[in-house]
Amino acid sequence: MKIMVNGTPQEVTATTLAEALSALGRDGETVATALNEEFVPVGARAATPIAPGDRIEIVAPRQGG
Amino acid sequence: MVSFYGTPVASRLMLGTAQYPSPKVLSEAFRRSGAGIATVSVRREAAAGEGADFWALVRDLGVRLLPNTAGCHSAREAVTTARMARELFDTDWIKLEVIGHADTLQPDPWGLVEAAAILCAEGFKVFPYTTEDLVLAERLLDAGCEVLMPWGAPIGTGLGLANRYGLRALRAQFPDVPLVVDAGLGRPSQAAEAMEMGYDAVLLNTAVAKAEDPAAMAEGFARAVEAGRLGFEAGAMEPRDMAAPSTPLIGKAFLA
């Protein structure tokens, strides 16, 4: 199905957020995630279903002021 | 020693991690600054694992991390960013920014209070980036904030303390609340002035990162912060208009 990942359309085969991250190779330790603008803790990803058109945000530590 | 949410911090200088010419310069600047707190952010991961190197770098600094919600323009966005930052950096400290004006990056008072209330209720230790507005300050304290971080001047300007009257009034109004001048400082003398006014700490980034020699500037700010704090604790004399000789007149030889 087609989902948005960090604002870019992506095609994935997955039923949960955890599966989607794994399929995208983005399941490292230094990421946090949001689904449709709501934070999803790392422990909840496997139980969080995704649907076509969902918007996933994957963020990482970055420099800041 | 200054404390934030019950945590003592050895240095009254807080330093940002953005805009340095290289990771090596960043580390050297932190070493010479003696800063005890580093601000960091969360941003979209463009490639798998790209945040790992920076994460390792900031952990090696040996300082406490203060993630921010920089760039957020709504309470909802800031709250989600804060929740992601808490998991990512493993800290409940959050520098809360809710920006309301594009040109000045002035905080949105309404969004700031709304987000602060939500985050404080969730157990976050909120460090709100605010203005010198006394009423807004009261609302933020009511929301559960135990620190306030008024701007010196708009972020990245280096203008120093743009509203000395407002900052003095804020300090006088809330003598027991830790207050940090955050943003707008460009030179060590401006940091010293904030500390002389009785501010508990200063937070800066661009002034160090964009200096010709960031590490030297970091040390300059560190010394200025210490000098200003000592000046405050020592209690400065009152200025006067007329000259007053410092050398005693009594006993002067009559030579006219």
Give the one of A7, A26, A37 whose C-beta lies nearest to B45's C-beta.
Answer: A26
Residue B50: per-residue pLDDT: 86
For B184-232, how does the pLDDT look when each residue is reduced to its tens digit (9 = 90+)?
999 999 999 999 999 999 999 999 999 999 999 999 999 999 999 999 9
Residue B91: per-residue pLDDT: 97
Give the chain A residue whose CA is nearest to the CA of B50.
Answer: A60
The candidate with the shortest Cα–Cα distance to B36, out of B3, B9, B71, B7, is B9
Matching residue, tokens 């006014």: B197
Residue B49: per-residue pLDDT: 86
Give the one of B77, B88, B183 whose C-beta lies nearest to A61's C-beta.
Answer: B88
User: Do A30 and B18 make contact, defined as CB atoms within 8 angstroms?
Assistant: no
For B24-51, how does the pLDDT look when each residue is reduced to its tens digit (9 = 90+)?
999 999 999 999 999 999 999 988 888 8
Q: Is a pLDDT exceeding 90 seen at residue A2?
A: yes
Tokens standing for residue B250? 């009594």
User: Do B84 and A34 make contact, defined as CB atoms within 8 angstroms?
Assistant: yes
For A15-58, how does the pLDDT look when each residue is reduced to its tens digit (9 = 90+)?
999 999 999 999 888 999 999 999 999 999 999 999 999 999 99
Give the one of A28, A41, A61 whose C-beta lies nearest to B40's C-beta.
Answer: A61
For B125-160, how does the pLDDT look when each residue is reduced to its tens digit (9 = 90+)?
999 999 999 999 999 999 999 999 999 999 999 999
Residue B206: per-residue pLDDT: 97
pTM for this prediction: 0.94
Chain B closest-CA separation from residue A34 CA (Å)? 8
Mean pLDDT of B65-69: 98
Return all residues near B139 (Cβ < 8 A) that are at least 6 apart.
B109, B113
3-state secondary structure chain B: CEEECCEEECCCEEEECCCCCCHHHHHHHHHHHCCCEEEEEEEECCCCCCCHHHHHHHHHCCCEEEEECCCCCCHHHHHHHHHHHHHHHCCCEEEECCECCCCCCCECHHHHHHHHHHHHHCCCEEEEEECCCHHHHHHHHHHCCCCEEECCCCCCCCCCCCCHHHHHHHHHHCCCCCEEEECCCCCHHHHHHHHHCCCCEEEECHHHHCCCCHHHHHHHHHHHHHHHHHHHHHCCCCCCCCCCCCCCCCCCCCCC
Chain B residues contacting A via beta carbons under 8 Å: 16-20, 26, 39-46, 48-52, 54-55, 58, 67-68, 70, 76-77, 80, 83-85, 87-89, 155, 183, 205-206
User: Do B85 and A41 make contact, defined as CB atoms within 8 angstroms?
Assistant: no
For B44-63, how does the pLDDT look when each residue is reduced to its tens digit (9 = 90+)?
998 888 889 999 999 999 99
Residue B249: pLDDT band with limits 50, 70, 90: confident
The rounded mean pLDDT for chain B is: 96
Rounded to whole angstroms, the Cα distance separating B225 from B192 reads 5
Least confident of A45-59, B88-102, B142-156, B241-255: B241-255
Distance of CA B39 to the CA centre of its chain: 10
Rounded to whole angstroms, the Cα distance separating B208 from B199 reads 20
Residue A60: pLDDT band with limits 50, 70, 90: very high
Structural contact between residues B43 and B71, judged by C-beta atoms closer than 8 angstroms: no
Task: Find residues 4-23 of chain A whose CB sits inside 8 Å of chain B.
Answer: 6-7
Residue B3: per-residue pLDDT: 96
Residue B33: per-residue pLDDT: 97
Rounded to whole angstroms, the Cα distance separating A42 from A7 reads 21
Residue A36 sits at the chain B interface (C-beta within 8 Å): no
Told to judge if B210 belongs to the known catalytic residues of this protein, a careful annotator would answer: no
Residue A15: per-residue pLDDT: 96
Chain A closest-CA separation from residue B16 CA (Å)? 4
Chain B closest-CA separation from residue A11 CA (Å)? 17
Cβ–Cβ pairs < 8 A, chains A and B: 102
B235, B240, B244, B247 alpha-carbon torsion, rounded to 10°: 20
Distances in Å between the Cα of B25 and the Cα atoms of B30, B52, B182, B253 are 9, 18, 22, 60
